[in-house]
Structure 1
Amino acid sequence: MAKNYGFLICILVMVMDIVAGILGIQAETAQNKEKPMKVWIFECRYPSHQAFQLGLAAVILLSLAHIIANLLGGCVCVWSKDQYRTATANRQLAVAFLIFSWIVLAVAFSMLIIGTLANSRSRKSCGIFNHRFLFIGGILCFIHGLFTVPYYVSATAMRREEKRRLESLGGPAIRR
């Protein structure tokens, strides 16, 4: 008897994205508590070790949430527009959510990395890379969860749909 862990995986991915978002926002708050420093016309803050740690934790959680959803959701490939048009609704949704989740991941990951590296202890100079990157990255973590969970759901529904179709045609069942 196959057990359905889909609900738990969706909860896990969503919780990881929410925690990553909260950590990103807390990292921004910790960064803003540091004293301002002025170099020529640029005004920024001294590096915050707490902001660095929180930003790094947010990056790790965001990455893990994305990896879990994509590994367990499986590969959803569409090679042409014609194949996309003739695909089932679940496959089309899975492809769309996969693309959006990768775009949001790329932007959120970049924002969190930039904000985290700005709080690195090795940073000696002041630059313009201190403008709410951690906060925006944290917000994008929430949005990442809104795209990643539907991707996982539609990808697993697509696999079940294809399995049923093959079984109805008399072909061998696809094993998971």
Structure 2
Amino acid sequence: MTEHEQILFACIDNCCYFKLSGELRYTNATGMDDLVERLFRQQMGCNRVVVDLNEASFMDSTYVGLLASLARYCQQQQLPRPTLFSTHSEVNELLFSLCLDQAFDIVQQPTHHNVNMAGVSAQHYSEQQQGLMILRAHEALIELNDSNKSQFQPVVDLLKQQLK
């Protein structure tokens, strides 16, 4: 992981903080995927989820899907909607176009919380594991709404075919 691609995480007072910065692509999403999966599998004591994207300069659909998975986790655990901070106009355009505002409270302002966070390392995924991560992320996007379904169903169908 480089300085430009960073995932920071902390769980403080039952609030899980994610800080994502740099270019967020499927090629560097394994650490985030692993963290979201661990959150689903074991209750980390999260009563609230906060995502800070203020230092993210780019995000692909796989990463947006991982965020959708995070929102789905909150919904399944009957937690409040997660809060997402983002001041980057291109990132915000993507979030709104893929309807993440239906799953997150999006705050287009800088964050001022000073939380001591730990870096999250990339995980070593096989090609198969990486394919499954991309598939899960896009399935989460499709679940958000119908326009995402029409946009990403062909991707999901192709991935399912390739992963057989």
Shorter-chain TM-score above 0.5: no
Q: Which structure is higher in RCO with an 8 Å CA cutoff and minimum separation 6?
A: 1
The structure that has the greater radius of gyration is: 1
TM-score when scaled to structure 2? Answer: 0.24
Higher strand share: 2
Q: Which structure shows the higher helix fraction?
A: 1
TM-score w.r.t. length of structure 1: 0.23
